[in-house]
């Protein structure tokens, strides 16, 4: 059987968020440090009263407290029959991939996804969002937390390299070890009685295969599917879960910059490539502005931080000011479609119909927010596919905008557009300027809870 890690993962993450050692947490919760260790390694599960002491010690409230207590009390559902070996144990590689770095922030999202799939209120959840926003990373954390709730375990299937929707069923069948000439029938036979979590990563280019997922869910009542995709699958059974960029600091002070997930991500990756990097009074405001300019987009932040070996945050910011969002020489272990921002955005652009692709380039003219009539005046037929693909965002007031990195990409496409001159010429004079940075900062996400 797989090791139960739902509660251990949450416990450790909450403890580290507060900067507590195991000894300090034990003292706060009034239990021994050896018990804390056992809970974090999953060798013991706390009784309800102890879980509540731990939740108090970790200052958890509201939804997060509820999710923590659910995780603490979760036990794997028994299989329908005792005849079979847990499916995950039969698979060639039955462990979920291990994330190379810790998850930053995302507490509320993790709790919500864990609740949806863990309490079986949803059987198909799609994490949707723009390129590099952190869908896969969040799905990995959710899958790790959920895995023990499924008696047959979980499988993570990476689809980014697959282009042919017809190949989805054979690939899943092969990964799960489903035997039979016809992949879908073999999958249904294998999954029908299983309590299993199937995670499908990067589904966006395979949307025509979405009905397969509906058929699997209909045939396997205890199957749950967690999907990451830049666009929705448009299934009736699907619960769409939008993933927003990482939270930015609420102020530019060192204390705020050090804890906000977006800026923490920059600092942690910067230290990894340049151990001499130190966040301090001298550079905190620049780091905050840099992450703000990158819209809190984790992939963009990581790629920028990868250059912190040679460039100070101020130099990185100056590159952005010069319209350069491409920081070459990122991390070699990122998937091919994420080696550069250009590659990540082009991957989404490739999936657009020609009219939408043309409209996307035209939007590169807007330096700030805009509305549908302004876009239509530029010849953008429909914004829907662009919103759906995460290439266009809406702010709190309903006005539309492109994340900065995406806008620079679109502007570059516009530069070589055959009608570029006309499009520049008929840009509405009312086009607003870039939103003020602090305002944009506050529209991204609420600050960390602590």
- Residues at the site binding ligand ATP, with contacts judged by CB under 6 A: 101, 103-106, 129, 131-137, 202, 228, 230, 246, 261, 265, 298-299, 302, 334, 337-338, 344
- In terms of CB distance, is 170 or 335 closer to ligand ATP? 335
Hey, what are 304's tokens? 């920028």
Which H helix or E strand runs over 189? helix 183-191
Which neighbouring-strand residues pair with 394?
400
Q: 32 φ, ψ to 5°?
A: -80, 155
- In terms of CB distance, is 134 or 148 closer to Mg ion? 134
> 68 and 8 in contact (C-beta within 8 Å)?
no
- In terms of CB distance, is 265 or 400 closer to ligand ATP? 265
440, interface contact from ligand ATP, Mg ion, none, CB < 5-8 Å by kind: none
Say which residue the tokens 């060798």 belong to: 43
- In terms of CB distance, is 79 or 130 closer to Mg ion? 130
Smallest distance from the beta carbon of 137 to Mg ion, in angstroms? 8
Binding residues for Mg ion, rule CB under 5 A, total 2
Smallest distance from the beta carbon of 138 to ligand ATP, in angstroms? 7
Q: 378 φ, ψ to 5°?
A: -95, 5
SS3 127: strand
Strands of 50-138, DSSP E: 124-128
Q: Which runs of consecutive H residues, i.e. helices, occur in 351-403?
A: 354-363, 372-377, 384-388
137, interface contact from ligand ATP, Mg ion, none, CB < 5-8 Å by kind: ligand ATP
Site string for Mg ion, 194-233 (x = CB under 5 A): --------x-------------------------------
131, interface contact from ligand ATP, Mg ion, none, CB < 5-8 Å by kind: ligand ATP
413, interface contact from Mg ion, ligand ATP, none, CB < 5-8 Å by kind: none
Residues in 128-147 that interact with Mg ion by CB under 5 A: 136
Q: Which contacts of 263-266 are long-range, i.e. CB under 8 A and separated by 24 or more positions?
A: 263/287, 263/288, 263/291, 264/104, 264/105, 265/104, 265/291, 265/298, 265/301, 265/302, 265/305, 266/290, 266/291, 266/301, 266/304, 266/305, 266/308, 266/313
Q: Which residues contact 209 (CB under 8 A, 6 or more apart)?
A: 165, 166, 168, 169, 203
105, interface contact from ligand ATP, Mg ion, none, CB < 5-8 Å by kind: ligand ATP
Name the closest residue to ligand ATP (Cβ): 134
- In terms of CB distance, is 40 or 302 closer to ligand ATP? 302
Helices 33-41 and 6-17, packing angle to 10 deg: 120
114, interface contact from ligand ATP, Mg ion, none, CB < 5-8 Å by kind: none
Distances (CA, A) of 64 to 121, 136, 449: 17, 21, 10
Smallest distance from the beta carbon of 205 to Mg ion, in angstroms? 12
- In terms of CB distance, is 228 or 369 closer to Mg ion? 228
302, interface contact from Mg ion, ligand ATP, none, CB < 5-8 Å by kind: ligand ATP
Binding interface with Mg ion (CB under 5 A)? 136, 202
């Amino acid at each position: 059987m797989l090791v139960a890690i739902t509660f251990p993962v949450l416990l450790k993450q909450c403890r580290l968020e507060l900067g507590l050692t195991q000894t300090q947490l034990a003292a706060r919760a009034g239990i021994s440090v050896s018990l804390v260790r056992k809970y974090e390694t999953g060798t013991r599960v706390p009784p309800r009263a102890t879980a509540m002491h731990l939740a108090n010690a970790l200052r958890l409230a509201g939804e997060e407290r509820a999710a923590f207590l659910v995780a603490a009390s979760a036990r794997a559902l028994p299989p329908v029959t005792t005849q079979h070996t847990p499916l995950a144990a039969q698979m060639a590689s039955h462990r979920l991939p291990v994330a190379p770095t810790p998850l930053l922030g995302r507490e509320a999202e993790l709790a919500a996804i864990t609740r949806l799939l863990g309490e079986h209120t949803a059987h198909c959840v799609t994490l949707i969002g723009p390129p590099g926003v952190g869908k896969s990373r969040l799905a990995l954390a959710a899958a790790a937390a959920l895995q023990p709730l499924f008696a047959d375990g979980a499988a993570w299937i990476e689809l980014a390299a697959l282009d042919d929707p017809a190949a989805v069923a054979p690939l899943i069948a092969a990964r799960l070890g489903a035997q039979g000439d016809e992949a879908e029938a073999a999958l249904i036979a294998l999954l029908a009685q299983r309590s299993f979590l199937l995670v499908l990563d990067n589904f966006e280019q395979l949307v025509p295969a979405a009905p397969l997922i509906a058929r699997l869910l209909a045939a396997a009542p205890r199957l749950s599917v967690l999907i990451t995709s830049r666009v929705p699958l448009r299934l009736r059974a699907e619960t769409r879960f939008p993933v927003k960029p990482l939270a930015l600091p609420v102020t530019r002070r060192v204390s705020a910059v050090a804890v906000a997930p977006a800026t923490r991500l920059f600092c942690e990756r910067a230290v990894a490539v340049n151990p001499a990097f130190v966040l301090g009074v001298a550079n905190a405001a620049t780091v905050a502005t840099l992450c703000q300019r990158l819209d809190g987009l984790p992939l963009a932040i990581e790629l920028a931080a990868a250059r912190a070996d040679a460039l100070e945050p101020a130099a990185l910011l100056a590159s952005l000011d010069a319209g350069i969002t491409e920081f070459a020489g990122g991390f070699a272990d990122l998937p091919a479609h994420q080696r550069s921002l250009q590659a990540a955005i082009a991957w989404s652009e490739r999936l657009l119909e020609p009219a939408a692709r043309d409209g996307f380039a035209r939007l590169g003219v807007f330096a700030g927010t805009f509305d549908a009539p302004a876009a239509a005046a530029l010849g953008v037929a429909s914004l829907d596919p662009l919103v759906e693909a995460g290439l266009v965002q809406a702010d709190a007031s309903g006005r539309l905008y492109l994340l900065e990195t995406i806008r620079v990409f679109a502007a570059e496409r516009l530069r070589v557009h055959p009608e570029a001159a006309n499009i520049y010429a008929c840009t509405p004079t009312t086009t607003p300027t870039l939103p003020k940075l602090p305002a944009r900062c506050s529209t991204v996400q609420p600050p960390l809870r602590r």
